[in-house]
Structure 1
Amino acid sequence: MRPQKIEEEEMLNRFAKLFKSKGYEGTSLAELAEVTGLKKASLYHRFPKGKQEMAQAVLLNINNWVEKNIFNTLTNQSLPAEERLKNGLLSIQQLYNNGNSSCLLQAFSTQSRLEIINQLIHESMSHWVDTFTSVGIAFDLTQAVAKEKAIQVLIDIQGSLIVSKGFNNPNIFMNTLKNIETIYTKN
């Protein structure tokens, strides 16, 4: 029987869903193979370093999506600051499925002891803060105040995802996004 094929993007999305639900440590190679329909040997052929390399690929894939759809939108100086913020928040809403999806950074940051994963998490969070700092500057905030608000925005997004999941109420996340917009537009 010919081995089953799966597109790279679909495979990474399935990995991401599993990692979000079970965390890095809680996800087994057998489960990763099962969600793709591939044999372990096929996974090792694609990812010779095993689960660590799969997790890296998932993080890089999501980071690329975030860069293209959120960060580039928020820093697009050809649009007014309000429009950039509104469009960026819509992409954040899409990324987290209106508050129904967990954050992969949260799933990995609480469990992974792998330096490369921790480095990717640090870089990603720093990029979120840098991008929202630039948003604050676009709204005429000082560098220091813009950075302070950017850190709070990251805390608000991540925290609201956790609280939304805990209360099984995605409206908590959606209200947080509205509040983030207000943070910048009501100055």
Structure 2
Amino acid sequence: MSEHTVTLNNEESSCKVHLFGATVTSWVSGGQERLFLSSEAKMDGTKAIRGGIPIVFPNFGPWECGPQHGFARISWWTVSLPPTKLDNGDMQVVLELCDDEITRNMWDYSFKLQYSITLSGSTLSCELNVTNTSTKPFDFTTLLHTYIRVDDIKQTTISGFQNCAFVDKVESNEGIEVNNEVKITKNVDRVYAGTVGHTV
């Protein structure tokens, strides 16, 4: 663990997490890097890290209260559980972000985010828990905005969206996916609703 990063390792894989934004910036499995990280990514805390697995909270997209995608990805997180080997042999680190004066100036709510990052064999698992630490209710949106590295984007297909409604941000339209596999042949920025099961 360095001043700004945490690393998890086991015999089959490794991952690196930057404390700025709690962004997973690397996941190596089977000897290959599985995440995309832009060569232009700033790692100095001046802006959100471009690539890896940024955390979106408390808002997805443009936000009238603060920066696009909220403040979680541009906040410094703390380590609540340092890299630890669990009883089952998995390696895990837990990071935490709580409300402070900066977040309350944008979004006046009390909260605690706990982000568990676990390596189990060649598998990376990320789990984000949101806790309201006051009696004042709040609404939020959150997601792990994963940038997956692929060898050739034009050879990439994604399944699991057939019959799901989508909003296409590139072409500014909406529709229902008719294909079992979505082939990526150009710039794509879509949000699908109503997916079933695990979609990767």
Structure with bigger strand share is: 2
TM over 0.5: no
What TM-score range do you get, normalising by the shorter chain? under 0.3
Q: TM-score, normalised by structure 1?
A: 0.21
